[in-house]
Amino acid sequence: MAVYEKKLDLTEKLIVKFFDIIERTILKRFMFKLTINLLNRIHLYYITSLIDPEMMG
């Protein structure tokens, strides 16, 4: 019975670790996309603030 419980505990740990890795990669990817999106918006705002409205037409 103790051996079965140890196997179950090990399986449980592996499952938790597996989902933890998946969660981290998804979160990293999300944070990466969010950061890139934010940088693009700041960059776009900076460029548009440099352009003189009278030059545009």
> pLDDT tens across 25-56, in order?
999 999 999 999 999 998 888 878 777 667 66
C-alpha closest to that of 10 among 51, 18, 40: 18
pLDDT exceeds cutoff 70 at 19: yes
Helix runs in 1-57, H state only: 2-50, 53-56
End-to-end CA distance of the chain: 82
User: Which two structure tokens, joined as six digits, stand for 30?
Assistant: 């999300």
Q: What angle do CA 37, 42, 43 make, to 5 degrees?
A: 95
Residue 43 is predicted with a pLDDT of 87
Residue 17 is predicted with a pLDDT of 93
The domains of the chain are located at 8-48
Rounded to whole angstroms, the Cα distance separating 16 from 29 reads 20
